[in-house]
Amino acid sequence: MAHSGANTVITQLRERISHLEGGRSRRAQTLPFGVTEIDEHLPGGGLHFGALHELAGGGAGTVDGAAAALFAAGIAARTKGKVIWCLTRPDLFFPALAQAGLHPDRVIFVEADREEDVLASMEEALSFGGLGAVVAELVRLPMTASRRLQLAAEKTGAMGLVVRRWRRQTEASDFGQPTASSTRWRVSVLPSEVLPVPGVGRARWFLELMRVKAGECAEFEVGACDAAGRISLSTGFADREDQAGRSVHSR
């Protein structure tokens, strides 16, 4: 909070308010992206633990939500503790998540048949405590449900990541509906970084911070998660050093 550049008086007032709100401030830690341009758009300098974050795929990726899922995996990889991943459609290919730094031992999948069960599982996991992140792949996220999830996350300080994934492109307009989540992101794929040789370079994303509590929207062009789950601001130039195990042979 200190380096958000705000007035010290306001900072003090904020502290007093959060003190009155009852202990919530103790848990209000954040997970920075490690990219200054992104972090300074987020109050607290990163994604808040004990809060709900929504991630959706943009453009043609709304139905498969591949980029959103990998973005979530990268965030989860940088937290500590177990990760619960709730889903209804088991088409996640874990080796890709492992390449984003998420170890298979850390992730426990909870597969349900119905969307409501995914919501219930996520809430249960968020209020259990002691977890790094709880990820859920959801089609719909009604206001009431998101509020419950947000409260459960606040209680234990676990990070809730909702990967919005629709069954049809047209359903994506649902993303305009308000929810109680504290940030909302949209990840669309961009053509990969240009390499001096033919081939597919490091994946690039167009990252839109569509909504953030007590902050302003922003857009970034970033390089996709590397082997440690980190994204980087896209330089537009080939930098294959940190790409997931891609160049082991050529090194």
Pick the closest to residue 209 from 28, 3, 58 (CA basis). Answer: 58
Is residue 151 within 8 A of residue 23, CB to CB? The reply is no
Would you give the DSSP letter of residue 236?
Answer: S
Q: In the bound complex, what is the minimum distance in angstroms from residue 218's beta carbon to another protein? A: 20
Among 56, 76, 77, 84, binds another protein (CB under 8 A): 84
Among 47, 67, 75, 162, binds another protein (CB under 8 A): 67
Region 101-120 residues binding another protein, contact defined as CB under 8 A: 103-105, 107-112, 117, 120
Q: In the bound complex, what is the minimum distance in angstroms from residue 60's beta carbon to another protein? A: 6
Among 5, 22, 95, 176, binds another protein (CB under 8 A): 95
Q: Does the footprint of another protein cover residue 128 (CB under 8 A)?
A: yes
Other Cβ atoms closer than 10 A to 193: 20
Tokens at 142, concatenated: 């009604």
Q: Does the footprint of another protein cover residue 245 (CB under 8 A)?
A: yes
Distance CA 91, CA 159 (A): 23
Region 184-213 residues binding another protein, contact defined as CB under 8 A: 187-192, 198-201, 203-205
Toward another protein, which CB reaches closer, 200 or 217?
200
Other Cβ atoms closer than 10 A to 204: 19
Tokens at 130, concatenated: 């002691």
Toward another protein, which CB reaches closer, 51 or 107?
107
Other Cβ atoms closer than 10 A to 146: 21
C-alpha distances (whole Å) from 81 to each of 78, 120, 124, 158 are 10, 21, 16, 10
Q: Does the footprint of another protein cover residue 166 (CB under 8 A)?
A: no
Q: H or E element: which one contains 16? A: helix 8-21
Q: Does the footprint of another protein cover residue 164 (CB under 8 A)?
A: no
Distance CA 41, CA 64 (A): 28
Distance CA 24, CA 3 (A): 20
Q: In the bound complex, what is the minimum distance in angstroms from residue 58's beta carbon to another protein? A: 11
Q: In the bound complex, what is the minimum distance in angstroms from residue 206's beta carbon to another protein? A: 9
Q: Binding residues for another protein, how many (CB under 8 A)?
A: 62
Q: Does the footprint of another protein cover residue 227 (CB under 8 A)?
A: no
Residues that bind another protein (CB under 8 A): 59-61, 64-67, 69-71, 73, 80-82, 84, 91-99, 103-105, 107-112, 117, 120-121, 124-125, 128-131, 187-192, 198-201, 203-205, 224-225, 244-246, 248-249
